[in-house]
Amino acid sequence: MVTARENSTPPGDRRVRRTRSALARALIQLVEERDLSRISVSDVAEGAGVSRSAFYDHYRDVHELAEDACTAMIDDLIESLPGPSLDAADIEQEATASLAAFFGSLAGHGGLYRALLGPQGSARVVGHIRRRIAVVIRERLEHAGIREWPERVPHDVTAAFTAGALIGVAMDWLERGCARTAAEMAEATWPLLNAHYRINDA
């Protein structure tokens, strides 16, 4: 079904989006079957049903496509997270639900994230995820009317610290093959954040 928004978009732009989406889907499927380093442009193009030249119209190589697909998925995930709201009555439940969704998405595309967040991964993707998480944390602090969190710590420092810690935990979890479930990771991570920022006492 074509939406009104799609109808108002120039046909060339819609074709670009469709081609890029097809390439991303093909790559995501392939990377669950083999290492990213073993996937060729021809593999992705064939899986997407496009020519090699069409691939090169959009990306320099498979790694650039992987970075684009990974950052797009992270953006979609972060935008869809329901909370937590720092002034919520049951912040623990909201926080663990959001963290479980975050870890669940990583596990759902473990092959791609392991390739890009591991030791030989992409600094661009790691930096992008860290910045996006930091922006969300900073916005929630400001929305809750908290000027400094905890005492004497500016929002940008708090957000950067938390984002770095969360990415570090996620990278270690992925490298270990996601041995714990997403729910277990959420339950293990939330008390660390809660203890550090003393949210229950705020």
Burial 54-66 (b: 16+ CB within 10 A, else e): ebeeebeebbebb
pLDDT value for 86: 53
Stronger pLDDT, 119 or 141, i.e. the higher one: 119
Sign of the torsion formed by the C-alpha atoms of 74, 62, 169 and 187: positive
Query: 21: which residues sit within 8 A by CB, 6+ positions away?
Result: none
pLDDT tens figures, 148-202: 555 566 777 877 888 888 889 999 999 999 999 999 999 999 888 777 655 444 4
Rounded Cα distance, 24 and 67, in Å = 10
Residues 52 and 103 in one domain: no
Residues 18 and 95 in one domain: no
CATH (domain of 54):
1.10.10.60
- Residues composing the chain: 202
SS3 198: coil
Residues 128 and 155 in one domain: yes
Residues 79 and 122 in one domain: yes
Q: What is the pTM of this model?
A: 0.74
Stronger pLDDT, 5 or 191, i.e. the higher one: 191
pLDDT tens figures, 129-162: 888 888 887 777 676 665 555 556 677 787 788 8
Residues 30 and 70 in one domain: no
Compute the half-sphere exposure of residue 167: CA atoms within 13 Å on the CB side of its CA.
22
CATH (domain of 142):
1.10.357
Domains of the chain: total: 2
Domain finish residue from 59, 84, 101: 59
Residues 112 and 35 in one domain: no
Residues 54 and 67 in one domain: no
- Between helices 62-80 and 123-143, what is the axis angle to 10°? 10
Residues 100 and 137 in one domain: yes
Range of the domain at 191: 63-201
Domain finish residue from 41, 59, 77: 59
Burial 24-44 (b: 16+ CB within 10 A, else e): bebbbebbeeeebeebebebb
Confidence category of residue 10, pLDDT binned at 50, 70, 90: low
Residues 99 and 195 in one domain: yes
Residues 39 and 82 in one domain: no
Residues 124 and 170 in one domain: yes
- Cα–Cα separations (whole angstroms), residue 136 to 55, 61, 87: 33, 31, 15
How far does the chain reach from its first CA to its final CA, in angstroms?
47
Domain finish residue from 59, 75, 90: 59
Q: Are 99 and 190 in contact (CB under 8 A)?
A: yes
The one-letter amino acid code at 96 reads T
Residues 72 and 32 in one domain: no
pLDDT value for 81: 65
The number of beta carbons lying within 10 Å of the beta carbon of residue 74 is 20
